[in-house]
Each structure stands twice: as structure tokens, then as C-alpha cells.
Amino acid sequence: MQRREAKIWGWLTAQRAIARLATAVGLAAILTAISAPPAALAQPADPAAAQIDSFDAALIDTMKAGKTLGPQGRYKRLEPVVARVFDIPTMIRFAVGPSWASMTPAQQQALIQAFNRLTVASYAHNFNSYSGQRFQINPNVATKGVDKGIQTQLISPGDAPVSITYRMRQSGGVWKVIDVSYGAISQLTTRRSDFAGPLASGGADGLVAHLNALADKQMK
């Protein structure tokens, strides 16, 4: 009888030891998962998609603090993000068209600065508050020649998703946006049409004034 009780006690002791070990291993796994950076785990593998993922995250963060920041605060927060993600010189060169080549370096630089200001102001204006919005990136990255197409959707509670496609190209070894399409509408194609009038009537200086006026309107 004593031998039988000793056997049972030994079995129970072993089971408790195994349970403690399993609990310790499970706890270690949980702690490891908690300590791992969630953004790094969720970040897309494609470097172009990762750029858009970081841009989307910055927009959501800005929206969440939108009312507190105000227009100027949102502008300051998004300005370095736009500089990192967008190839502004390439975008304005395309939007201006053939007349870009005949402009002076000073005029070109003034247009780059004005278009950058308009781009940042537009995002600061349009992404000004948060009510549960989120972005969802399509994992399938389209490649066409030297460019990549990254598709994402802005999903807002109660509204139809908005499809956005970013056309991206490497600049200095970094993937940057060179055009944005909403549905099938290219933003730069639209810009080129819109800029034609001010450019024809006032040249580079007239277009700079036009861009700054549009940016001023967005910041009100």
C-alpha cells in the first residue's frame, strides 16, 4: 500500500512539474509576443508597400489628433512625412509639362516649393478628424517597368471604401510616390489640366501664385 501511494505521489509530482514547465514556457512565449514591435510584424515585405503603410499610419495618427493640432499643427506633422514618401520634383515636372525645360532653375525651385506646400496642405485639410477610419493595403504589388503600383483602401464606418493607387518609382534608392489615382482618375493628369491656364497666362510666376493661393485656401 505504501509503495502504491509512493507511486501515485511520484506521478502527481511529475505532472505538476510538467504543468509548471508548460506554464513557464507559455508565459515566456506570451511575453515575447508582447515585447515584439507590432508595427514591424505587420509591415509589408515590399519596400514600396512599406512606404505607403507608413504614410497611411501617419495620416491616421494625424486624424486622431486633428482637432487638437489644428490646420497648422497637422501641416507641421505631415510635412516631413510627405517629404519622405513623395517625389515632389518629379510630380511638379510632370504636371507642368514641356515648358518645364525652358524655365530657370530659380523658377523650377519656386514651383517645387509651392507644389510641396499645396500637397501637404491638401492632406492636412482632408485628413483633419478621426471617426474610426482605417487603411487596408492590397498585398499584391503591381510592377510595370521601373514603377510599382500600390493599392490601398480608405475604409470609413458607414461609407463606401475609397480606392487609392500610388504609382511609385525609386529615387536615390528609396521608393517614392510620383502619382496618386483615386479610382481611375490620375491626380497628376488632373493637375496638369488645371495648371495649364495659370501657366499660359502668367508663366512660372503665375503658376507659383496659383499654387500658393490654393494652399492658403486649404489651410483656412
Q: 90-135 pLDDT, tens per residue?
A: 999 999 999 999 999 999 999 999 999 999 999 999 999 999 999 9
From CA 104, how far away is CA 92, in angstroms rounded? 15
Report the predicted TM-score, pTM, of the whole model to 2 decimal places.
0.79
* 45-218 CATH pick, 1.10.10.10, 1.10.800.10, 3.30.428.10, 3.10.450.710: 3.10.450.710
Percentage with pLDDT > 90 across the chain: 78
Question: For the chain, what are the domain ranges?
Answer: 1-36, 45-218
SS3 content of the chain, % helix, strand, coil (to 5): 65, 15, 15
Q: Which residue has the cell 495618427?
A: 61
From CA 38, how far away is CA 54, in angstroms rounded? 13
From CA 42, how far away is CA 129, in angstroms rounded? 24
Phi, psi of 104 (to 5 degrees): -75, 155
Q: Is the pLDDT of residue 211 over 70?
A: yes
Which grid coordinates belong to 185? 482618375
Burial class of residue 140, CB neighbours in 10 A (0-12, 13-18, 19+)? exposed
Q: Is the pLDDT of residue 216 over 80?
A: yes
Per-residue pLDDT tens digits for 19-46:
443 333 333 333 333 333 343 345 678 9
Banded pLDDT at 4 (limits 50, 70, 90): very low
* pLDDT at site 45: 85
Question: What is the identity of the amino acid at 219?
Answer: M
Per-residue pLDDT tens digits for 46-63:
999 999 999 999 999 999
Phi, psi of 210 (to 5 degrees): -65, -45
Long-range contacts of 73-81 (CB under 8 A, 24+ apart): 74/123, 74/124, 74/127, 74/128, 75/120, 75/121, 75/124, 75/219, 78/120, 78/123, 78/124, 79/120, 81/54, 81/55
